[in-house]
C-alpha cells in the first residue's frame, strides 16, 4: 500500500493543503477503501468558507467518494476485498472517514456495492444528494421511507416537488413516488418527457406567469 495523502484544512477557512496523513485501520463494521474518485458537494464549500459544523482543526473533509475495498473490519459480511463501492460519510464522522484522501474508511451502513459495468462516477455523484433527499423528505417532512424493492400502493396524498429536472428534484420525485404519493412537479416544456419517465403524475410549465402557476398548482 502506498503512502496516504489527504487534503487538509489546517484552520477554519484556510485553503486546503495536500499532506501525508495516517492510513486508517478498519475497526468493527468498517471497510478500508482505496479512493478512485470523489464528488465536491456544497457542504464541503460551506465547511471551508464558513466553518460549518465548527470542526476540530486541522481536519480532513469530504463526504462522497468511491473506490475499491482493500481491507475489512471485524463483523463485516456484506463487503469483500475487491468490491467497488460508493460511500457517503457524515461531515462529522472524523478524519479517517473523510473523502479527501487516498485511503479512507467507510462504515458499512454508509456504503453500497457498485455492480460491475456501472460507471463509479454515477453513484458517487448521486449519493450525497440522495442522502439529502431522504433527510429532507423523511426525517424532516415525515414521509415514511419507501421499500426499495417495490413501489408502495398509492396512499391518496400529493406532494409538490419544485424543479423536477434538478438533481435533488429528480431523485425526490422517484423517492416519494415509490413511497406511494402522487407527485406534482415543475419543469420547462423541453424537459417534460424526461420528468414523465421519473413518475411525476402532474407536470406544470414553470415558465408561466405567477398567476397561471398558482392556478395550475391548486387545480
Q: Which CATH superfamily is domain 143-218 in?
A: NAD(P)-binding Rossmann-like Domain (3.40.50.720)
Rounded to whole angstroms, what are the CA distances from 54 to 15, 47, 49, 99?
16, 8, 11, 18
- The pLDDT confidence band at residue 92, using thresholds 50, 70 and 90, is very high
Q: Please report the pLDDT score of residue 139 as a whole number.
A: 92
CA distance 24 to 4: 9
CA angle 183, 121, 59 (to 5 degrees): 100
- The pLDDT confidence band at residue 77, using thresholds 50, 70 and 90, is very high
Burial class, 136, CB count within 10 angstroms (exposed 0-12 / middle 13-18 / buried 19+):
middle
Mean pLDDT over each residue of the chain, to the nearest integer: 94
Domain extents in the chain: 4-117, 143-218
Query: What pTM did the predictor assign?
Result: 0.83
Question: What percentage of the chain reaches a pLDDT higher than 70?
Answer: 100
Q: Which CATH superfamily is domain 4-117 in?
A: Medium-chain alcohol dehydrogenases, catalytic domain (3.90.180.10)
**pLDDT of 165 strictly over 90:** yes
Amino acid at each position: 500500500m502506498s503512502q496516504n495523502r489527504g487534503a487538509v484544512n489546517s484552520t477554519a477557512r484556510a485553503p486546503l493543503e495536500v499532506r501525508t496523513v495516517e492510513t486508517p485501520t478498519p475497526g468493527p463494521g468498517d471497510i478500508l477503501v482505496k479512493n478512485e474518485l470523489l464528488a465536491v458537494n456544497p457542504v464541503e464549500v460551506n465547511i471551508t468558507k464558513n466553518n460549518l459544523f465548527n470542526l476540530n482543526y486541522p481536519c480532513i473533509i469530504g463526504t462522497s467518494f468511491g473506490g475499491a475495498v482493500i481491507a475489512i473490519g471485524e463483523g463485516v459480511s456484506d463487503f469483500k476485498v475487491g468490491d467497488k463501492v460508493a460511500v457517503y460519510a457524515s461531515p462529522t464522522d472524523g478524519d479517517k472517514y473523510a473523502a479527501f484522501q487516498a485511503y479512507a474508511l467507510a462504515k458499512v451502513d454508509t456504503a453500497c456495492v457498485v455492480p460491475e459495468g456501472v460507471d463509479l462516477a454515477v453513484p458517487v455523484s448521486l449519493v450525497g444528494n440522495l442522502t439529502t433527499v431522504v433527510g429532507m423528505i423523511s426525517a424532516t417532512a415525515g414521509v415514511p421511507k419507501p421499500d426499495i424493492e417495490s413501489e408502495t400502493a398509492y396512499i391518496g396524498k400529493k406532494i409538490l416537488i419544485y424543479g423536477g429536472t434538478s438533481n435533488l428534484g429528480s431523485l425526490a420525485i422517484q423517492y416519494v413516488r415509490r413511497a406511494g404519493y402522487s407527485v406534482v412537479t415543475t419543469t420547462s416544456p423541453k424537459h417534460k418527457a424526461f420528468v414523465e419517465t421519473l413518475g411525476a403524475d402532474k407536470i406544470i410549465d414553470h415558465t408561466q406567469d405567477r398567476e397561471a402557476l398558482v392556478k395550475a398548482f391548486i387545480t
